[in-house]
Structure 1
């Protein structure tokens, strides 16, 4: 027995040594069990189970970002980064949940919905966005320092009895439609929150009606995500991980040493010692092998992540973006969404577009980019420009993919395709009446005006054309395809470009002819004017196969008719429709003026479209002639250039 006691420190040393060697593989294996399905729990009527967990449940029973609280045993709440939401229902079969702002559960009539949800990514999990459905939009909650008398500011307080106190409140909260032009924003009313609501617009709604809609709640969708894990472990997480691994192996060793065979002799001791040594060595070898494999997997993952994209410019850009709303998908996920690119919607110079479907059932259009231009600049332009904004008349970028040369953009699917299929197709050109065409023009103008004035940076599109105007199920327009877009400070009235950009027939002349004027947001105004002309004529502006030679260039032909006092040939339409069309024509001619300074801003364009046609003055004929120095500089002559010549010359330069 003395001999056995003398050997005990050796056993202790071996155990400590074994634990030291296997600590890394233990921790590695423990990570596999970080998140487990621990059954379900109820808070009121809400069934809470994996991947969600209650705050009172163990940390491994759900995801860190999806922790719910049960208040007073009957109210389930989700605490987001920018607010608190009350969970009404969770639909595990289609990965959605219905929530309402927590303030709506309170009887306090002076509590306002101020909570906002932002996309976030967790390990293997993505909780990303509102479920797109017909009729969902957003509204602003503004906090004014003075009472607002305008009807566009809807009272946000639910109080029916006003206080009789002689002192005036310091804050006045109002609801404001998200489509409100920037010019109507009062400087004394900063935006407190941007809230989703299940109506197209709150215009004309009362406070009670707005709260009734808010009380219906909104659907949120989550997706399982196999991309990069952005969850950063805290010190407590590391300690939990180590404790988990140690517990597993300590129990095994302690059971062996405490409940193993008794040592009755030196021979028995030696046999037990050899057996224990062999077992310990085998465990060490096995766990070390697993640890090495885990280490190799980690190294390979890091290497793959570092070399995920061959385009360093794109990766550098993405690393610098910390507040992007779009999701980064893997190419494998893109193939799964499109069923291996089965349903092709269209093709162009940028690549091909395929119809896809998210796990939530939401349909999307996936643009698979071809060879990237300018070191990935077209991809960067698209993600940077619309990756942070949300507007009813701007196409929504849901996600993107970058894996080496494979690049894709994921958009909301637009059932009615693009505007060019409506106005240029013989079978479809009479699908929409003039009232709807006028509404489309208004929507496009609002979208462009938002890009110019509604964001922290002004976004110049540089490629406004019918092909890039998408139509949803109600033919509401969405400005899309920001591959040529550029971001500038709102302080920059004139911007710099190294080369002309745009599409044949829509490019503004100042992008080609330097002496006409500086490049600014007026370039988009020009393109919008050309778009309006094609909507009016329901044909391309330049058509060499027109019935008469005078109609080859539609804007020139239509201007001459109006100048002679003749009506536009539009068939059998009502007087009200004639007024709308004439208004579109006059606005279009103002937009396509040769000199940028003569064109209105998009805010002014909106006001012109919404005013009486009698108040609109007919502008001079566009492109009547170029300034003398510009003509000489480009063509080496002093002859004036008419509009078709200038337009075709600009297009020729763009193609070259």
Structure 2
């Protein structure tokens, strides 16, 4: 059992120093002469590598000078002034500073902060987001990009206009280099600035800026144990000074280590066994994925390496979004085609989500299904590379705050076109492939829109393949998103699981497109919810107007048609739902030819009568 002395070595010696770092007792440390200090009771603690300008040079490093002014801790940078220190994290090597100038303009604060020839660099934010270099442009008129709603949304390498730097005839924007082809002749570039795009709007009204300093050898391990890091000018190396209070805590811990050592050792053994089994499981998943990729070598998607991904995404500098699966980054292939790289960071199960994506999208080509251009798989890390959809997902057009404006983001004619396009994509999955593909997660978030607002179905992680002759699919558990899952997936009492389950999800989404609201809002108390499908059914069955936003002749007819088709699709009995070819026939036909469907669901009164 050679593992025992190894484990007890770490139990009895919690800190063994680091390379080029020595450990000394606090009785002989430098803090007797350079004690940690503060400018005020609630101010940040000042100690190595920082020092007050009034302290000895040996108390800190060059370029880390601070001073006290009116109970504020002021930072002194070579070419910047007017910044005071709000917080210092010696473990994370980060310092939060505030602009003392009379401005709430964050972009102005970043511009005036000159980190040239300093020991500091700009940190994107405390959550690991990287910064990108943007060009600042002066424009004589406000710009509106038709693919987005101006710059009020984060996205696609454009920020602005910055109201605090703009006027009636001068508008300031920040643009990534790859987007400058869209800049009109009335704009000119005049500065560069580092910005963390991901949380820009969250922080746009604050003057706080987070910067970090370069790591010093050995300091991280020292600070992590609650000790102080210092510098020995004689040996030109860092020193770990034991905190006296921390030292007493360590002595108490060491005195009880022998009595609890057995328990800790037992727990470590269990942990090692767990990690060993987890490692074996991960190896099985890797072998399964590699076996799948070997069998599907003839698929069109290209396999990329991790270094390829870094080149494609520019070292992952432009994040488009983030979800439970991981993050999506914008990139560009070597042939110039823009792409979206989806990093699968939080996969569950045995690799089925990744296999489903490659096995389904990789083998099919349809105008209304997003194209998978490539993938990456190495160990436990995986990624998918899709064609880039500049208008993002349908969700943001029907649920965003923009809906509170006077006009709908999309016209009724455009909504009808999107509904027809999605129906054609689902029909192809159900009828046009060699094998029938059941998506099981049709929802607005998984419908992407290209530059012409043509819809593309995406995210096939929950998909299931079956033969066209197979009318019933066996399922061990419900899959999908709450609010769009067909009732038979929860309870077989409603019927068998089949392609009609996708029809139900499509119908729920269709009603959300009509009402520009979620059918079920889980954030609202259940007793106060208004179930929109039931509301719209009552209106339609009574022949009343829907009272929706109608702008031109024909809009009311389109709205009613979408509503009736949606109500047919969400019938609780799967046999009463239409197939997707029938859905297309209804959408492309006249309103007069449509019948009002039966009530799709049982109300609470019906349930009481049944009981």
Q: TM-score normalized by structure 1?
A: 0.48
1:397 aligns with one of 369, 372, 376 = 372
C-alpha displacement at 1:340, in angstroms? Answer: 1.4
C-alpha displacement at 1:509, in angstroms? Answer: 0.5
2:357 aligns with one of 379, 382, 390 = 382
C-alpha displacement at 1:565, in angstroms? Answer: 2.0
What per-residue deviation string (whole Å, max 9, x for no partner) do you get for residues 262-296 of structure 1? xxxxxxxxxxxxxxxxxxxxxxxxxxxxxxxxxxx
Contact map agreement 2:424 2:584 (CA 8 A) in 1: yes
- Asked if 1:421 is matched to 2:396, the reply is yes
| Range that drifts further, 369-378 or 397-406 | 369-378
Q: Distance in 2 between matches of 1:639 and 1:543?
A: 27
Aligned residue number for residue 258 of structure 1: none
Q: Distance in 1 between matches of 2:425 and 2:461?
A: 16
Counting only pairs closer than 5 Å after superposition, residues 437-448 of structure 1 correspond to structure 2 as: 437-448=415-426
C-alpha displacement at 1:560, in angstroms? Answer: 1.1
Q: Distance in 2 between matches of 1:328 and 1:548?
A: 47
C-alpha displacement at 1:572, in angstroms? Answer: 3.5
Aligned residue number for residue 409 of structure 1: 384
C-alpha displacement at 1:308, in angstroms? Answer: 10
Q: Distance in 1 between matches of 2:481 and 2:524?
A: 21
What per-residue deviation string (whole Å, max 9, x for no partner) do you get for residues 186-245 of structure 1? xxxxxxxxxxxxxxxxxxxxxxxxxxxxxxxxxxxxxxxxxxxxxxxxxxxxxxxxxxxx
Structure 1 pair 545/468, CA: closer, same or farther in 2 (3 Å)? Answer: closer
User: Helix, strand or coil for the counterpart of 1:503?
Assistant: coil
Contact map agreement 2:330 2:341 (CA 8 A) in 1: yes
1:595 aligns with one of 573, 585, 594 = 573
Counting only pairs closer than 5 Å after superposition, residues 246-285 of structure 1 correspond to structure 2 as: none
- Asked if 1:341 is matched to 2:316, the reply is yes
Contact map agreement 2:392 2:450 (CA 8 A) in 1: yes
Q: Distance in 2 between matches of 1:442 and 1:551?
A: 30
Structure 1 pair 339/355, CA: closer, same or farther in 2 (3 Å)? Answer: same
Q: Distance in 2 between matches of 1:525 and 1:610?
A: 17
Structure 1 pair 640/324, CA: closer, same or farther in 2 (3 Å)? Answer: farther
User: Helix, strand or coil for the counterpart of 1:619?
Assistant: coil
User: Helix, strand or coil for the counterpart of 1:435?
Assistant: helix
Q: Distance in 2 between matches of 1:468 and 1:496?
A: 24
User: Helix, strand or coil for the counterpart of 2:510?
Assistant: helix
Aligned residue number for residue 227 of structure 1: none
Aligned residue number for residue 32 of structure 2: none
Contact map agreement 1:309 1:404 (CA 8 A) in 2: no
Aligned residue number for residue 296 of structure 2: 321
What per-residue deviation string (whole Å, max 9, x for no partner) do you get for residues 144-198 of structure 1? xxxxxxxxxxxxxxxxxxxxxxxxxxxxxxxxxxxxxxxxxxxxxxxxxxxxxxx
Q: Which runs of 5+ in 2 are unaligned?
A: 1-281
Aligned residue number for residue 427 of structure 2: 449
C-alpha displacement at 1:496, in angstroms? Answer: 0.9
Structure 1 pair 472/455, CA: closer, same or farther in 2 (3 Å)? Answer: same
Q: Distance in 1 between matches of 2:554 and 2:324?
A: 40
User: Helix, strand or coil for the counterpart of 1:401?
Assistant: strand
Counting only pairs closer than 5 Å after superposition, residues 225-240 of structure 1 correspond to structure 2 as: none
Contact map agreement 2:403 2:516 (CA 8 A) in 1: no
RMSD in angstroms over aligned alpha carbons? 2.5
Contact map agreement 1:522 1:599 (CA 8 A) in 2: yes
Aligned residue number for residue 595 of structure 2: 617
User: Helix, strand or coil for the counterpart of 2:341?
Assistant: strand
C-alpha displacement at 1:575, in angstroms? Answer: 3.3
User: Helix, strand or coil for the counterpart of 1:365?
Assistant: strand
Rg bigger for which structure? 1
C-alpha displacement at 1:573, in angstroms? Answer: 2.7
Structure 1 pair 552/589, CA: closer, same or farther in 2 (3 Å)? Answer: same
- Asked if 1:484 is matched to 2:462, the reply is yes
Q: Distance in 2 between matches of 1:530 and 1:601?
A: 15
- Asked if 1:495 is matched to 2:473, the reply is yes
Structure 1 pair 491/480, CA: closer, same or farther in 2 (3 Å)? Answer: same
Aligned residue number for residue 341 of structure 2: 366
Counting only pairs closer than 5 Å after superposition, residues 151-230 of structure 1 correspond to structure 2 as: none
- Asked if 1:434 is matched to 2:412, the reply is yes
What per-residue deviation string (whole Å, max 9, x for no partner) do you get for residues 32-83 of structure 1? xxxxxxxxxxxxxxxxxxxxxxxxxxxxxxxxxxxxxxxxxxxxxxxxxxxx
Aligned residue number for residue 519 of structure 2: 541
Structure 1 pair 309/401, CA: closer, same or farther in 2 (3 Å)? Answer: farther
C-alpha displacement at 1:480, in angstroms? Answer: 0.3
Aligned residue number for residue 514 of structure 1: 492
User: Helix, strand or coil for the counterpart of 2:520?
Assistant: coil
- Asked if 1:312 is matched to 2:312, the reply is no
User: Helix, strand or coil for the counterpart of 1:347?
Assistant: strand
Structure 1 pair 569/323, CA: closer, same or farther in 2 (3 Å)? Answer: same
What per-residue deviation string (whole Å, max 9, x for no partner) do you get for residues 506-549 of structure 1? 00000011121111100000000000010000111113788998
User: Helix, strand or coil for the counterpart of 2:538?
Assistant: helix
- Asked if 1:574 is matched to 2:552, the reply is yes
User: Helix, strand or coil for the counterpart of 2:543?
Assistant: coil
Structure 1 pair 402/578, CA: closer, same or farther in 2 (3 Å)? Answer: same
Aligned residue number for residue 19 of structure 2: none
Q: Distance in 1 between matches of 2:410 and 2:364?
A: 29
Q: Distance in 2 between matches of 1:313 and 1:615?
A: 51
Structure 1 pair 552/545, CA: closer, same or farther in 2 (3 Å)? Answer: farther
User: Helix, strand or coil for the counterpart of 2:321?
Assistant: strand
User: Helix, strand or coil for the counterpart of 1:427?
Assistant: helix
Aligned residue number for residue 560 of structure 1: 538
Structure 1 pair 310/605, CA: closer, same or farther in 2 (3 Å)? Answer: closer
Structure 1 pair 436/465, CA: closer, same or farther in 2 (3 Å)? Answer: same
Contact map agreement 2:389 2:449 (CA 8 A) in 1: yes
Structure 1 pair 435/398, CA: closer, same or farther in 2 (3 Å)? Answer: same
**Runs of 4+ deviating beyond 4 Å:** 307-310, 544-551, 638-641
Q: Distance in 1 between matches of 2:354 and 2:410?
A: 33
Contact map agreement 1:310 1:404 (CA 8 A) in 2: no
Q: Distance in 1 between matches of 2:421 and 2:456?
A: 8
Contact map agreement 2:443 2:505 (CA 8 A) in 1: yes
What per-residue deviation string (whole Å, max 9, x for no partner) do you get for residues 326-382 of structure 1? 010011111211111111111111111110111111110000002322210000011
User: Helix, strand or coil for the counterpart of 1:543?
Assistant: coil
Aligned residue number for residue 71 of structure 1: none
- Asked if 1:351 is matched to 2:326, the reply is yes
What per-residue deviation string (whole Å, max 9, x for no partner) do you get for residues 441-481 of structure 1? 00000000000000000100000000000000000000000
Aligned residue number for residue 448 of structure 2: 470
Q: Distance in 2 between matches of 1:544 and 1:408?
A: 31
| Range that drifts further, 511-520 or 474-483 | 511-520
Q: TM-score normalized by structure 2?
A: 0.51
